[in-house]
């Protein structure tokens, strides 16, 4: 069963957005996961969203997911309606660039889980209006929802058919979860899969985004995760997602060459 190989553009973050799109296509990726802040920055510098749309189309890429909606879980008082309006704008931008999902990031600090669940339901309703589904993210070094199991519970508790979560190998490992926590999750509730490895010399639970390393260079059993997903019937999109400053300093084309080769070898994808 084949996965669709994509690039999360954080992997080559210093590059301009149009260059990220070009490099992803030339490396052989089928899709490119775009950050809304990159789109905003490009427009702020005088570009047009249509330039990004055209670049994606000209290179024959898909946009499996976009990133991100933040601060909706913890906003207080009059801040919350303002955050919802910004989330609506981001959902509408995601729709314009062709992404079916927008990542919804949980609060960094402790927050009532009931409130997060209720507000995720609010986002899902706005998403239906915008034509893009907010997909729930767990962040292993955040203090609200750090575990895959917690994210899955929230998705269930929303009792909404559009509720999904975005799977992330690094956050599953660093959050102290295993593939056993993945077993009960139906594939239709998994919007997308971020694949990455963890630093081999830092214990799980003490790592943050910059500690991610190229797949195959760390301790995560990515093969077991891929096998389980395949056995469950997942044949969706998967993005290479790194935030490694050492990789950012290298030739981005070489980084992506290594990345896609390792994804193909791991996922048994012919490309």
Task: Tell me: pLDDT of 270 over 70.
Answer: no
| Dist CA 101 CA 127 (whole Å) | 9
Mean pLDDT for 211-216 is 98
pLDDT for residue 46: 97
Mean pLDDT for 136-144 is 98
Residue 237: count of CB within 10 angstroms of its CB: 22
Mean pLDDT for 108-123 is 98
Residue 63: count of CB within 10 angstroms of its CB: 21
pLDDT for residue 103: 98
- What CATH number does residue 38 fall under? 3.20.20.150
Q: Are 181 and 172 in contact (CB under 8 A)?
A: yes
Tally of domains in the chain: 1
Q: Cα dist. 120→46, 72, 183, 241 in Å?
A: 33, 8, 23, 24
| Dist CA 81 CA 133 (whole Å) | 19
What angle (nearest 5°) sits at the alpha carbon of residue 248, between those of residues 244 and 251? 135
- pLDDT class of 137 with cuts at 50, 70, 90: very high
Task: Tell me: pLDDT of 146 over 60.
Answer: yes
pLDDT for residue 2: 84
Give tens-digit pLDDT for 33-63: 999 999 999 999 999 999 999 999 999 999 9
User: Which residues on adjacent β-strands are paired with residue 171?
Assistant: none
Provide the strand spans (E) within the chain.
Answer: 4-8, 31-35, 66-69, 101-104, 133-136, 165-168, 190-195, 237-240
Summary mean pLDDT of the chain = 97
Task: Tell me: pLDDT of 7 over 70.
Answer: yes
Mean pLDDT for 179-201 is 97
Q: Are 260 and 31 in contact (CB under 8 A)?
A: no
Residue 215 domain boundaries? 4-267
């Amino acid at each position: 069963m084949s996965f669709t190989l994509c690039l999360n553009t954080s992997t080559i973050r210093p590059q301009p957005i149009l260059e990220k799109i070009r490099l992803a296509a030339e490396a052989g990726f089928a899709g490119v996961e775009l950050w809304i802040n990159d789109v905003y920055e490009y427009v702020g510098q005088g570009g047009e969203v249509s330039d990004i749309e055209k670049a994606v189309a000209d290179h024959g890429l898909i946009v499996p997911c976009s990133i991100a909606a933040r601060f909706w879980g913890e906003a207080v008082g009059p801040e919350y309606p303002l955050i919802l309006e910004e989330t609506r704008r981001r959902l509408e931008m995601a729709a314009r660039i062709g992404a079916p999902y927008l990542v919804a990031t949980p609060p960094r600090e402790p927050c009532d889980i009931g409130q997060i669940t209720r507000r995720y339901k609010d986002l899902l309703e706005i998403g239906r209006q915008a034509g893009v589904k907010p997909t729930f993210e767990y962040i292993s070094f955040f203090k609200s929802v750090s575990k895959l199991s917690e994210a899955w519970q929230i998705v269930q508790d929303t009792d909404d058919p559009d509720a999904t979560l975005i799977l992330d190998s690094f956050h599953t490992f660093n959050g102290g979860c295993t593939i056993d926590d993945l077993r009960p999750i139906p594939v239709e509730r998994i919007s997308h899969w971020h694949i990455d490895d963890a630093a081999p010399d830092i214990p799980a639970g003490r790592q943050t985004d910059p500690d991610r390393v190229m797949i195959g260079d760390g301790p995560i059993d990515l093969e077991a995760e891929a096998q389980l997903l395949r056995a469950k019937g997942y044949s969706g999109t998967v993005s290479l997602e790194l935030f490694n400053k050492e990789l950012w300093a290298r030739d981005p084309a070489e980084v992506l060459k290594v990345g896609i080769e390792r994804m193909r070898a791991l996922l048994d994808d012919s490309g």
